Amino acid sequence: MLRKPLAALVLAAAALAVAAPALAGNGGFAPVPPQSPNAERITTTYWVILAFTGAIFVLVEGALIYFIVRYRRRGRPIDQEGPQIRGHNRLELAWTIAPVVILAIIGTVVFYELPGIQDVPKASAAGPRLEIHVEGRQFYWNFRYPNGVIAVDRLRVPVNRVVRLEVTAPTYDVIHSWWVPALGGKIDAIPGKVNETWFQVDKPGLYRGQCAELCGIQHAAMLNAVEVLPQAEYDRWIEEQAGEQQNPRGETALGRATYREVCAKCHGFRREGLIGPALTEATVANTEALKQLLAEGRGAMPPVGRDWDKAQVDALIAHLQAGSQGGG
């Protein structure tokens, strides 16, 4: 009697163990491979908690199925009572002590890992930490580097450096949430409040994320990415950007990125209109009206460009006006 359900249970557990890695790889059930020390600690915590909760799940659901089969009615009259059992000291002690021990282990692991997740290291072997100001806005991320360089949605950083992010949102915007899963946990971008998070990546590459707080109609389009570059490549890029943003001549990378990440999400990549109206030649040609539109918004359009640096406003307008002559 006992053998068959137990065998079924063992088989089911074995099948789950075989299927789990496949599910983890394809189904997105497991965290993405961590690429930063804080993300590694979050992943460790995840697996420790999953081990206990997974074992408890199999035990409880297995016992449930076993009892359903083992003690089924088998034609007994419905009002016949089963044997009356009262008290079992050892069993009761066991189910009191076991959860206490499990919670103590999970608590210990979490409090051991937590400082390495939260506390930003002062520096790394590659040099002092890089401080980036991150602003979440409807529906883009604006970054400011220590030398004043501005970037939108894609953050470029050097390899092996501790990067500290000061994450916030303007007081007239809404709450967003910064999250690049491979580089650590979520951190909210709250209007008027500054939160901090950090990462350090030892492998060049592109790490993608997504705003993780429902923030309005284009929340799904509010993507973010961190591009980790070899040091020399990063130095070249940041210098080039500083030069171009301080002394712009015609169209710039900042202007293109600002149009693509701030305007196009609502007005279309070719200004054809999407959830926002098409941008006409007349709108684009009127510099003063454009500046006012950016600063004040209109109707459903948020003031996407209020408090921007002059460099970013000018870069966007130069891009729009160059495009209206050139077509794209």
CA distance 220 to 237: 29
Tokens of 19: 């299927």
Assigned token pair, 205 = 């590459």
How many CB atoms lie under 10 A from the CB of residue 208?
Answer: 14
Whichever of 222 and 320 has its CB closer to ligand CUA, that residue is: 222
Closest CA to 306 of 170, 140, 188, 177: 170
Write the burial class of residue 293 (CB in 10 Å: 0-12 exposed, 13-18 middle, 19+ buried): middle
Question: With respect to ligand CUA, which residue has the nearer C-beta, 183 or 311?
Answer: 183
Measured distance CA(294)–CA(87) in Å, rounded: 73
Are 305 and 137 in contact by the 8 Å Cβ rule? The answer is: no
Judged by beta carbon, residue 173 or residue 251, the one nearer ligand CUA is: 173
C-beta closer to ligand CUA: residue 117 or 134: 134
In the complex with ligand CUA, which residue's Cβ is closer, 167 or 313?
A: 167
Q: Which residue ranges make up the site for ligand CUA (CB under 6 A)?
A: 136, 139, 176, 211, 213-215, 219, 222
- Closest distance of CB 139 from ligand CUA, Å: 6
- Cβ closer to ligand CUA: 176 or 265? 176
Q: HSE-up of 246 (CA within 13 Å, CB side)?
A: 9
Sorted by sequence, the CB contacts under 8 Å of residue 235 that are 6+ apart come out as: 158
Structure tokens at 8: 């079924």
CB of 169 to ligand CUA, least distance (A): 9
Closest to ligand CUA by CB, 156 vs 265, is 265
Q: Prior bond to 139 cis, omega within 30?
A: yes
Query: Distance from first CA to last CA of the chain, Å, rounded?
Result: 76
CB of 210 to ligand CUA, least distance (A): 8
Strands 140-144 and 150-152: antiparallel
Smallest distance from ligand CUA to CB 303, Å:
16
Whichever of 136 and 305 has its CB closer to ligand CUA, that residue is 136
Minimum separation from the CB atom of position 176 to ligand CUA (A)? 3
* Min separation Cβ 214 and ligand CUA, Å: 6
CA-to-CA separations, 55 to 10, 47, 59, 148, in angstroms, rounded: 13, 12, 6, 52
Q: What does the alpha-carbon distance between residue 294 and residue 263 come to, in Å, rounded to a whole number?
A: 10
Q: How far is the CB of 184 from ligand CUA (least distance, A)?
A: 18
Q: Nearest distance from residue 32's CB to ligand CUA, in Å?
A: 19
- How many angstroms separate the CA atoms of 326 and 41, rounded? 50
